[in-house]
Each structure stands twice: as C-alpha cells, then as structure tokens.
Amino acid sequence: MNGNKPSEMNATLTTCPYCGTGCNFYLLSGSDGRLSGVEPAAKHIVSKGRLCMKGWNAHAFVHHPDRLSTPQLKRDGALQDCDWDTALATVHQRLQAIADRHGPDSLMFFSSAKVSNEENYLMMKLARAGFSTNNVDHCARLCHSSTVVGLAETLGSGAMTNTLDCFDHTDLVFVIGSNTTEQHPLIGGRILQALRHDTKLLVADSRKIRLAQHANIHLRHHNGSDVALINGMMRQILVDGLEDRDFIARRTENFDALRDSLEPFTPEYVAAITGLEPQQIIDATRLYAGADNAMIVFAMGITQHSHGVDNVRALSNLALMTGNLGRPGTGINPLRGQNNVQGACDMGALPNVYTGYQQVADPQARLKFSTAWGKELPETPGLMATHAIEAAAAGSVRGMLIMGENPMLSEPNQTLVRKALENLDFLAVIDIFPTETAQLADVVLPAACYAERDGTYTSTERRVQRGRQAVETPGDARADWRILCDLLQRCGIKANYESPAQIMDEITTLTPSYGGISYQRLEGGHGLQWPCPDADHPGTPILHQEQCTRGKGRFSPTRYRPPKELPDEKYPLLLNTGRTAVHWHTGTMTRRSHLLHREEPHAFAEVNPQDAGQLQICDRQLIRVSSRRGSIQLKARLTERVPAGQIFIPFHFAEGAANVLTNNALDPESGIPEFKVCAVRVEPC
C-alpha cells in the first residue's frame, strides 16, 4: 500500500464511460498508478464542471479485485488461467474451424458500445474481412436500432439532429419516453435550467419521472400507445391549422399520404387507446405546435417496442409537419444511451453497413472496403444480435465472439439467451469483469477498461472525443484494440497498428462523415461533430439545415399496432423495464462502485400503492413476479411513480433479473425487443 505520495499528482482528461452525453473529466491518480478520484472538466463544452453521480464515481470500479487479469480457457468444465498465445490461438482456430465446417455465417460477432470507435472498427473488420461474415452487431440493437431505421428513412440520418447547446435556445422541449434526469443527467439538468428561462416542457411518460413534476403538461399514456398519441397530435395540428405549410411544401414529400393516414385518429379514438382524456391530447398538441422552436427528445420509451420504428417515424413526421428541423432549438433528438453507442453504429458494428452507414449490399461500397482491406467481402447483410440469439438457440449460429457486452442480462427472455449461449460450439468473451456471459465462455480474454486505453468515443450529439489512458491494465489484461489486432493478424489481415490514432487514420480515409477527424484536431478542443468531411471542416452541430440528408424529408405514415403481449386475466399487470439513476445496465461496473451499489443494492419492483393494496403487499416486502417466460423474486417498492396496473423493474440485477420476464417479441424492421411492455403476475412471497 502506497500512502507516502500525494494521490492526486496526475490528471488525465478523458470521456466518461457511462451514458452518451459525452461529459469529460479528469481522472486523478498518484505515483502508485492508482486512480484516486474524478474532477469534472470545468471548461468542457458539455460537462462545464459538472457530472452526475455515476460520473463522480467513474474511477471506483477500475481497480476492483474482480477485474479479469489473465486469459482463461475452459478445461474440464471450468475456466482456468492460460497464456495469451494459447487463448488467442484457440479463439482463432475454433472460430475458423466452425466457419470452415458450417460456413462463415455460422459465426456471430458482438461488438460493444463501451469500447472505442477504433475498436468497433476493428471488430467489424475482423468479422467481415477476417471471417467473411456480416454477422456483426452490438447493443444498439437493443436501444436505438428503431431510431436508426426510422430516421434514416424519413430524414436520411439516424442520429440526433441537433446539439446539446440547443437546450439553451428552445421554446419548448417535448420529452417522450426518456427519463432524462436519471439516464442523461447532465442533459436533464440543462432542461431543468432551461425551464427557469421560460422554456416550456411537455412530458409524455407513463411514469411520474422527475421532469414530469416540472412539465406544463404531463401525459401518462399507456405504454405502447405512442403511435396513436403522436398521430392524434398531428391530426389535431391539421385541424387547428398549426402545421408549417411552407416547410411542408419546400422541404418534404409524401404529405398527402400522411394526412390521409391520420383521419381515424380523432381525440376520442386516441383517448380510448392511450387512456388519456381527449382534451389532454388537444392541449398537448397546442403546446407543442404553438412553440416557435420545439425540440423532441426521446429514448428507450419510444424505441423498445415491437413497433419501435413506427414510433420513431411518427415523431419524425411530427417534427417535419411543424417545421421543427434544421434550426437551433428544434429537431428530433434521440438520446443515445452508451458513451459510444453512436460511434459503434458509425463504425459499422451493424450487420448491414460499413463505417458511415455505407451499405454492405452496395457493390461500390463493398469494392472500396475490400480494396482497402485486401480481402473479398460478403455481400449479404448479416444477422441482428437479437436474431443471432434465436439462431444460436436453433443451432444455426455455432460460434460467437462477444466483446464488452453481457447479453445474459441485457437481452430479453433470459431463458432463451442461456439456451442459445450454452448451445454454441464455441463462445469467446472479451471483458473486464467475470460477467454472467463470461461464465459461459470457452475462452475469456481480459481487456482494458476505459481508463487504461486510448481511443475516441462519439457522443449522442455526434461529438467525436478523445478517451485517454490514465493507468495501466491489471495483470496481463490488454487493450481491446490490441486483442483484435492479434486476431486480425492470425486471420491473415494486416493489422500492425502502433496506436489507435493510426486506426483512426484508416477509418477517416474510408468514412466520408469522419473524413476531417484526426487525433491532432481532437487534442486541443472539445471534439468534432460529424459530418466533418475534411481537415478544414469545423464539424456540424445541426443536421438537415438547408435540406435533409436524404434531400426532402419524407413523411412516413404509420398505423397503430398494440404491443405483442398485453395484460390479461392470468398476467394482469404490465411490466415496464429500464434503469435507475445510479446503476449502469447489467451492473458490472456500478455494482462494483461502492457509493452506487450502496444506493441501490437490491433488485426491486416499483408497484403502485393501489395495486399493492389489492395484492396485499407492503413496502420492501419480497414478491414474486412471473411472466409466461419465467419468474423472479425481488422487493416491492411502493410508489406513485408507476401508474396503477403497471410495475417497473430495472434490469441491472442478476439476482432479480427483469429480462427473465421480458418478451423477445421483435420489431420486424429493427429487430429491437419489446422491453417496455409485457404481461406479468405479482404475488407476495
């Protein structure tokens, strides 16, 4: 124990590893190479000297004793330490053997929204060039795949249209399906600050989230009724004549089809579907459409439905109809959950695109990448992560490499996921902790965490920023990019990069929207917002300014489809899932951070007191929650935050895993699961 030197001798500026807001902070460390704390970057354009509770504790898990520090190989049914060469050779040989015997598409590669752009690029290169399959995906499938599909179709780009500074210049924020103060706390804070300066707030969320307390109108519509609500609002806009006719005429197409599709969505019809009063719908419409500049903010409450793409389309239609696009303080703004989920998508860690959303099915794009990589590339789009799980359970996917993801807890229907992973001929996992997924692996490769490697991350506002190494990896653990380079070399693909900066140089030559990004440019300022096509380009804070990325904004009519599984007699309550303010996803990092774990140490379910009364459940009592897919035990938390008829369970906790219960009903276009709606039964234990 080194106590004789000051513990805050070094300060390393880096990007927060948690949500997609893109806060920067200094990691403080002593001469013993141990992190001792975090200090928010005072002058950074996003963090402005502020952080959330997770950010303030971002150093806390880094030196946890559970960190993986030695490669492990399963022998005699148990993971045992081995050397790197054995581990890497095994991964390469076993995956190659499966590909040789069953074809390249019997492999699946899970990339990660927690690793850098450079590492996502290498992972998709490994899948495509190394093993000749487009079966590469990552957890964006579970969060914003609906957004990417919906916004790409209507606007031509699946990313947040505006920039975070726009919250300071808007007249109204419409938050739908985003618990912003808990999941993007610094953005939530900006919204709360904006309200002090006369910005209006419209919140649509079945839960009484913090922002709802400050909203001019809070709509508690039923989970899964968003399409009806938004279509109803648009119909009312037309009735009131609040549409932006000039914008519609100049900048959009297919308006007539949209107008026709809205006819059935009268306030009364919408009220019957959403559980709202007709007047609430009319009032909310006038609030939104009456603002000169209005921002739509959404997240998982919109996307995680079997009709998630339609939800996004409907919101995009709403923004287009009112001309809220391409100006400061407007736009349609999906808040990306992970610190690099935007980047992982940008880097082509998706089954249908290379970097910068260049289609694998496009012969020209394929030629460009195959020329750069010196390898013929497959042309058929690959499997989505959720479909890959189903394929593994069915036996057609036989080998997987999973980097920095924990599908055992994060994918819906845990029983199916376990069956799928156990069914594999070979599973390799690259991670920093022995996750529930790593326990099932044949080889586990210990990786560097964010504080131990260089790289870039792309935040929700498309801001590409540096992450910097502050301390060394534990034991023999290696940075993910080094592990991937080794595997690429073993596949015969040249990958002798000396640093992530060199990898970025390769990315920029292949990716028009990242063309002007370099480590040198990222060093001095506050990152660069793509598109940034050349070295002199200042970046693009606001998209679709003169015209949409696809040219004209396209209205895309939607029809209301109810969720796949609604409460019934046998399973009478609706289960909503999500996260808490202090934990991150499957808890691998935050449950190993003392203050965060102490704050929420147990699995719990939010239960409305009215339901609790009927079920004879009291606060903190152990309950059993069951769905058609499984059953878990956890503590009840009685609260008015959830409406009667709904319970809410965060999915962080392995011992009360919400995803035992959730329904793997997928959106037909995006493959996203319906995490926000399924039917459950609650009983006292």
Provide the binding-site residues for another protein, judged by CB under 8 A.
1-9, 11, 13, 24, 26, 28, 35-44, 49-53, 55-56, 59-60, 63-65, 181-182, 185-186, 188-190, 192-193, 196, 210, 213-214, 523-524, 581-582, 594-595, 598-599, 601, 620
Closest to another protein by CB, 60 or 176 = 60
Closest to another protein by CB, 494 or 602 = 602
Closest to another protein by CB, 50 or 141 = 50
Residue with tokens 């005072």: 42
Closest to another protein by CB, 101 or 620 = 620
Q: How far is the CB of 568 from another protein (least distance, A)?
A: 34
Closest to another protein by CB, 182 or 425 = 182
Q: How far is the CB of 49 from another protein (least distance, A)?
A: 5
In the 8-state DSSP scheme, what is residue 189? H
Q: How far apart (Å, rounded) are the C-alpha atoms in residues 320 and 309?
A: 16
Question: Three-state SS for 190?
Answer: helix
Q: How far apart (Å, rounded) are the C-alpha atoms in residues 577 and 193?
A: 28
CA angle 461, 369, 120 (to 5 degrees): 40
Closest to another protein by CB, 517 or 582 = 582
Closest to another protein by CB, 188 or 326 = 188
Overall residue count recorded for the chain in this entry: 685
Q: How far apart (Å, rounded) are the C-alpha atoms in residues 41 and 54?
A: 15
Q: Tokens representing 553?
A: 């904004």
Residue with tokens 């002007």: 516
Q: How far is the CB of 616 from another protein (least distance, A)?
A: 19
Going through 120-188 in order, the beta strands assigned E by DSSP cover 136-137, 172-176
Q: How far is the CB of 56 from another protein (least distance, A)?
A: 6
Contact 662, 673 (CB under 8 A): yes
| Sign of the Cα pseudo-torsion (91, 94, 97, 102, in order) | negative
Q: Tokens representing 596?
A: 């965060």
Residues 6+ apart with CB under 8 A from 323: 244, 246, 247, 248, 251
Q: How far is the CB of 182 from another protein (least distance, A)?
A: 8
Q: How far is the CB of 532 from another protein (least distance, A)?
A: 21
Q: Which of 463, 455, 467 is nearest to 526 (CA)?
A: 463
- Cα separations in angstroms, 288 against 10, 175, 283, 531: 48, 11, 9, 29
Contact 630, 660 (CB under 8 A): yes
DSSP 319-356: HHHTT--SSTT-SEEE---BTTHHHHHHTT-BTTB-GG
Contact 515, 533 (CB under 8 A): yes
Q: How far is the CB of 453 from another protein (least distance, A)?
A: 19
Question: Three-state SS for 521?
Answer: helix
Q: How far is the CB of 499 from another protein (least distance, A)?
A: 19
Q: How far is the CB of 73 from another protein (least distance, A)?
A: 21
Closest to another protein by CB, 72 or 670 = 72
Q: How far is the CB of 589 from another protein (least distance, A)?
A: 15
Closest to another protein by CB, 37 or 572 = 37
Closest to another protein by CB, 2 or 614 = 2
Q: How far is the CB of 18 from another protein (least distance, A)?
A: 12
| Sign of the Cα pseudo-torsion (423, 426, 430, 431, in order) | positive
Amino acid, single-letter form, for residue 646: Q
Closest to another protein by CB, 63 or 521 = 63
DSSP 364-381: HHHHHHHHHHTS----S-
Omega cis (within 30) before 531: yes
Q: Tokens representing 467?
A: 């992450």
Q: How far apart (Å, rounded) are the C-alpha atoms in residues 548 and 153?
A: 11
Q: How far is the CB of 167 from another protein (least distance, A)?
A: 12
Question: Three-state SS for 564?
Answer: coil
Closest to another protein by CB, 42 or 367 = 42
